[in-house]
Structure 1
Amino acid sequence: MPASEAVHIDARGMKCPWPALRAARAMRSADAVTVEADDPVAATELEALARQQGWGFVAQGSGLFALSRSS
């Protein structure tokens, strides 16, 4: 997979902390991840994970989030 392509995680229907755990696992081998999640706590959990790891975090819309490594 090209480095510019983000790994996509469909975490809809999963309760936290599963969306954040899936994102953390994917970021082990990827530079960017998008996460679809419908748990209301997901945004807070994903943002905290990104902050803790020094990654970028963007809420791209209702239930869509992007995490990326800083260059």
Structure 2
Amino acid sequence: MRFRVLKQTAKGNLVLEADGKEPVERRTKLYSGGKEAAVIFDTIASVDKPLYLAQKKSEGDLIGKTLSTREAR
């Protein structure tokens, strides 16, 4: 599953939009470029598509980037 980073909160957490409607478990690790980039810790909305909060685990700007639940091989 893929997630698009919509914004970063004042506390440094990421607001993510999923590419599908199926629910995602808390503590799901997300990767960017083969490295762990974030960990989902909460669902904050679920109208058309769920929005998730994730704790950022990597340096650099992730806004607008796509993160994946699968580690690059």
TM-score by length of 1: 0.37
Larger fraction in helix: 1
Larger fraction in strand: 2
TM-score by length of 2: 0.37
